[in-house]
Amino acid sequence: MTSAGDVIALSGTIVADGEREYGRAWVRDGRLTLGEPGSSPTADVTISGWVLPGLVDLHCHLGLGPDGAVDEATTLAQAATDLAAGTLLVRDAGSPIDSRWLQHAPAGTPSRARDSAAQPPLPAAGPRPRVDAPELIRAGHHLARPKRYLRHYATELDDVADLPAAMAEQAAFGDGWVKIVGDWIDRARGVESDLEPLWPADVVASGVAAAHGAGARVTVHTFATETIDPMLDAGVDCLEHGTGLTQAQIERAAAAGVAVVPTLLQIDRFASIAAQGEAKYPRYAARMRAMHARRYAQVRDLHDAGVRLFLGTDAGGTIGHGRIADEAAELVRAGLTAAQVVAAASWLARDYLGRPGIADGAPADVVVYPADPREDIAVLAHPSAVIRAGHLLPR
């Protein structure tokens, strides 16, 4: 790994967004300079290829395993796997742990930056980031009801009336996002069990208002059609999975600017989930199977309607980390072009989350590829170099 003071020269095709490309860039003191820097420093490392802003996973769970919370060593291993795949920014869509320790380098960690009057460091933008984990935007803890979500994953509320206060609390605890579980199977109904909303519509509306009043956006786990209209009425900002959206609801979401994270890797599991539940919960199994069968058509309908789509692997729990390229390939399989998926996975997602991409003075979080992934999405699985906060990570 290079140190913070090393100078890295980048050349080739540096893709800032859909309009801007550059032939050269420099990384110094953890930041980007586009074109030739005035001081013309000697590069310690030179890297050529197709350079993209660090990829973004909008539905990821650092610190979560199949049985709930995992320890710090396991969390760091998850983070390292995501980094190696080129995922340099994560919106953690709910975690049972307090993951704030993942965001900044521990106090007392040496910076190793070079002290040079000819090459002064750029002003710091706050505490130094960890270079062994992606930049992390936390949605706090999932909010659900007892026995209406996966065990040990969420903060469970016995009384639905507590949702607004809990959403305000998570807004203060997280980084501008709150995650609620909108629907889940109600097993108490036996053979009639199916996906059903967890919260009354008026309570959801009050909860979203409370989160918005605290400056946070709200995203919702939802599989079921019945959940969508009350969530859109309440003014939620983002839908996770969104498998139950009808065409009319898709058009509502597009008009309202509500984003959707399709999580196709997770939806691919619906057929096996249906098979496991068929004997005890036939209605639920039938619905899951139908949503699985039309998953690609659903994504095409969302895209054609103008809904903003972003990539989310749903890593943590049942899906391994580092699979952003697999999720990208699934979106291409659904009918989006490779160029559209690359944009959604990088600069468009960064803009949505309020984080910079490739720009003068921006933090140097970039991924280098041996060919253009906008032409062949399979290239996304083979980064040749990953630079996190100005550090070239070992391969």
For residue 182, CA distances in Å to 37, 45, 141, 253, 262 come to 50, 49, 14, 16, 15
pLDDT tops 50 at residue 286:
yes
At residue 127, the pLDDT reads 79
HSE at residue 112, side-chain half, CA atoms within 13 A, is 12
Model pLDDT for residues 384-395, shown as the tens digit of each residue: 999 999 999 998
Query: Per-residue confidence at 116, pLDDT binned at 50, 70, 90?
Result: very low
* Residue range(s) in the chain whose domain bears CATH number 3.20.20.140: 55-99+131-355
Q: What's the CATH number for 1-53+357-394?
A: 2.30.40.10
At residue 37, the pLDDT reads 63
Among 392, 314, 345, 339, CA closest to 19 = 339
Model pLDDT for residues 326-340, shown as the tens digit of each residue: 999 999 999 999 999
* Residue range(s) in the chain whose domain bears CATH number 2.30.40.10: 1-53+357-394
Q: What is the mean predicted confidence (pLDDT) over 255-272?
A: 98
Distance CA 380, CA 338 (A): 10
pLDDT tops 70 at residue 321:
yes
Three-class SS string for the chain? CCCCCCCEEEEEEEECCCCCEEEEEEEECCEEEECCCCCCCCCCEEEEEEEEECEEEEEECCCEECCEECCHHHHHHHHHHHHHCCEEEEEECCCCCCHHHHCECCCCCCCCCCCCCCCCCCCCCCCCECCCCCEEEECCCCEECCCCCCCCCCEECCCHHHHHHHHHHHHHHCCCEEEEECEEECHHHHHHCCEEECCCHHHHHHHHHHHHHCCCEEEEEECCHHHHHHHHHHCCCEEEECCCCCHHHHHHHHHHCCEEECCHHHHCCHHHHHHHHCCCCHHHHHHHHHHHHCHHHHHHHHHHCCCCECCCCCEECCECCCCHHHHHHHHHHHCCCHHHHHHHHCHHHHHHHCCCCCCCCCECCEEEECCCCCCCHHHHHCCCEEEECCEECCC
Distance CA 355, CA 28 (A): 19
Q: What is the mean predicted confidence (pLDDT) over 192-218?
A: 98
Model pLDDT for residues 11-33, shown as the tens digit of each residue: 999 999 999 999 999 999 999 99
pLDDT tops 60 at residue 121:
no
In terms of phi and psi (left: phi > 0; alpha: psi -120 to 50; beta: otherwise), the region of 220 is beta
Lowest mean pLDDT segment, chosen from 117-126, 297-306, 371-380: 117-126
Looking at the domain 55-99+131-355, which fold is it? TIM Barrel (3.20.20)
Q: What is the mean predicted confidence (pLDDT) over 305-311?
A: 98
Model pLDDT for residues 89-108, shown as the tens digit of each residue: 999 999 999 999 999 988 65
At residue 38, the pLDDT reads 62
For residue 133, count CB atoms less than 10 angstroms from its CB and return exposed for 0-12, middle for 13-18, buried for 19 or more: buried
At residue 42, the pLDDT reads 82
